[in-house]
Structure 1
């Protein structure tokens, strides 16, 4: 269960960055709605991270959480915002994914 909470926290982090990207492109009330969603997703992400820390080591949980957020945000950037997908970028994202999986594998 703590790993599920941590994954959900990471996905909520990706959602709050997506909302920030959408807010950047919006104006007026639409922007305010995206900023409100950004805040809600951010609060949810930190709350779920905090719940997962009851059973997981801080260093491992934080690294996995930020890894999910970094990879997820890169994917959202490519899919939703047209960020470039280059070979070096793919290489380093794969390295990051491997590191996150390695941390999970060695966690108590």
Structure 2
């Protein structure tokens, strides 16, 4: 089976646009996702996700992955690895929701 010819999985990328995330650059993160997401993926602003101390917060649905402290420079990696490659970016995942496994 050729994976490269398969359409991207339908997903929604939620990018918090509440006060503390906005102060940390979430508007630029939202714009970058909107410019880069593959077909079938929607990137949209969200209200507060309750993770104010670790923003900007990005959540990928329906996958359920939470990313924290995301900057514009992280967006291309998330798009290529997670949205196109179906592999969450471990080092950017929120540790509260995705604790690192012991090696």
Q: TM-score, normalised by structure 1?
A: 0.28
Which structure ranks higher in relative contact order (CA pairs < 8 Å, sequence separation ≥ 6)?
1
Q: TM-score, normalised by structure 2?
A: 0.29
The structure with the largest alpha-carbon Rg is 1
